[in-house]
């Protein structure tokens, strides 16, 4: 028996049925090869030490409608025949596959990838989650504490003194805990999550996953390409511009790369305009994240091999 198919570019392939086993084995090797250090780093930080979570991420990648299985099969067929090296799976393909899964677009409410810029209860602010991660990450980087945990009261008071409503702060903490970017020494029940009745005091600390988001993910183009799809825009002019250039997804989930770049740039300009409106106290304490983020994203865009063509899609 043979398996026949065609990839998105129209290239046909044909191979024995037992080739799937070989493909999955080599794909596993490919994912965890040293040349794929970005994916290894992502999995180490976002799932360690929970092996089950790591397997879930791997499974999510395999079954996602955005995983280019046909292309990977063709590459593996070529590799086996020519005894070439294992393919490198780009980090943006891996993250997109697990973020979007079988949908055309990203939905922050059900995705495995958290949107740090989503708005929270009683607020249109995009930055409180960054402020929380900043404070908790600062504890471990500057060794201000023997433990990575700090009383939630300290953090809550700091943010409410900057003008945030307590319900907004609680909501931000809840979402970060749910997404495992921070953790606590308290076990939260379903009732607590549903009614948003957190204990009056508990300890919180940043996790490896939170550290990765704050130090790595926050500065990568593929993250903004994903979260821009489900972030509220509170400026009519920016909303109109972004809507006009928003790249529609094809049946295979591909979107025009040049349009994606333009959209991400507009999104970052919008975030910068909103960050400039933050209180002077908040800016004095936390600085301006969007300046360094934009610089990092522009450096990444310059290295993209697709700049010569406006028609190429990822």
Q: Where are the domains of the chain?
A: 2-100, 128-210, 217-302
Q: Which residues contact 241 (CB under 8 A, 6 or more apart)?
A: 266
Tens digit of each residue's pLDDT, the chain (314 residues): 666 666 555 556 666 666 666 666 666 666 666 667 888 888 888 887 777 777 777 777 766 666 666 666 666 666 656 666 666 678 888 888 888 877 778 999 999 999 999 988 888 999 999 999 999 999 888 876 667 899 999 999 999 999 999 999 999 999 999 999 999 887 765 545 555 566 778 899 999 999 999 999 999 999 999 999 999 999 999 999 999 999 887 766 677 889 999 999 999 999 999 999 999 999 999 999 999 999 999 999 998 876 434 333 33
Q: Using omega within 30 degrees of 0 as the cis cutoff, is the peptide bond preceding 115 cis? A: no
Residue with tokens 């307590």: 166
Rg (CA), the chain: 21
The token pair at 23 is 């493909």
Q: Give the whole-angstrom CA distance, residue 16 versus residue 1.
A: 6
Q: Give the whole-angstrom CA distance, residue 222 versus residue 39.
A: 13
The token pair at 164 is 């945030």
The alpha carbon torsion through 233, 138, 95, 123 (nearest 10 deg) reads: -20
Q: Give the whole-angstrom CA distance, residue 23 versus residue 3.
A: 13
The reported pTM is: 0.82
pLDDT of residue 175: 92
CA 266 vs CA 125, 220, 280, 300: distances in Å? 18, 15, 24, 16
Q: Give the whole-angstrom CA distance, residue 23 versus residue 21.
A: 5
pLDDT of residue 308: 37
Q: Kindly state the helix (H) or strand (E) to which residue 169 belongs, with its residue range.
A: helix 166-178
Q: Which residues contact 193 (CB under 8 A, 6 or more apart)?
A: 174, 178
CATH entry, 128-210, from 2.160.20, 1.10.10, 1.20.1070, 1.20.140 = 1.10.10
pLDDT of residue 248: 83
CA 226 vs CA 113, 125, 149, 183, 223: distances in Å? 9, 19, 31, 25, 5
Q: Are 113 and 98 in contact (CB under 8 A)?
A: yes
Residue with tokens 């809840």: 174
pLDDT tens by residue, 271-281: 999 999 999 99
pLDDT of residue 38: 85
CA angle 169, 280, 161 (to 5 degrees): 35
Q: Are 75 and 84 in contact (CB under 8 A)?
A: no
Q: Give the whole-angstrom CA distance, residue 237 versus residue 221.
A: 23
List, in sequence order, every beta strand (DSSP E) within the chain: 2-6, 12-16, 150-151, 182-184, 203-206
pLDDT tens by residue, 156-209: 999 999 999 999 999 999 999 999 999 988 776 554 555 556 677 889 999 999
Q: Are 272 and 305 in contact (CB under 8 A)?
A: no
Q: Kindly state the helix (H) or strand (E) to which residue 28 belongs, with its residue range.
A: helix 19-31
The token pair at 1 is 């028996």
- SS3 of residue 205 by DSSP: strand
Neighbouring-strand partners of residue 5: 13
């Amino acid at each position: 028996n043979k398996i026949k198919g065609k990839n998105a570019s129209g290239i046909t392939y044909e191979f024995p049925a037992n080739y799937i086993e070989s493909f999955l084995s080599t794909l596993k090797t490919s994912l965890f090869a040293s040349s794929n250090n970005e994916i290894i780093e992502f999995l180490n930080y976002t799932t360690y030490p929970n092996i089950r979570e790591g397997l879930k991420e791997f499974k999510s990648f395999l079954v996602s409608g955005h995983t280019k299985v046909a292309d990977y099969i063709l590459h593996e067929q070529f590799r086996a025949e020519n005894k070439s090296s294992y393919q490198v799976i780009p980090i943006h393909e891996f993250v997109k596959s697990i973020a979007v899964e079988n949908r055309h677009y990203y939905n922050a409410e059900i995705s495995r990838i958290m949107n740090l810029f989503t708005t929270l209860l009683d607020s249109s602010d995009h930055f409180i989650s960054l402020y929380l991660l900043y404070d908790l990450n600062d504890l471990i980087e500057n060794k201000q504490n023997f433990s990575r945990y700090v009383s939630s009261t300290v953090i809550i008071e700091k943010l409410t003194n900057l003008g945030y409503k307590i319900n907004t702060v609680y909501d931000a903490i809840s979402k970060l805990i749910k997404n495992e970017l921070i953790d606590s020494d308290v076990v939260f029940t379903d009732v607590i999550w549903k009614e948003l009745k957190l204990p009056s005091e508990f300890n919180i600390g940043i996790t490896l996953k939170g550290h990765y988001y704050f130090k790595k993910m926050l500065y990568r183009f593929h993250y903004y390409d994903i979260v821009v799809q489900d972030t509220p825009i509170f400026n009519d002019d920016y909303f109109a511009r972004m809507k006009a250039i928003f790249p529609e997804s094809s049946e295979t989930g591909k979107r025009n790369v040049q349009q994606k770049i333009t959209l991400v740039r507009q999104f970052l300009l919008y975030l910068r305009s909103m960050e400039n409106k933050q209180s002077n106290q908040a800016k004095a304490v936390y600085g301006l994240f969007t300046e360094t983020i934009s610089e990092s994203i522009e450096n990444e865009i310059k290295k993209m091999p697709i700049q010569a063509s406006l028609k190429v899609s990822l």
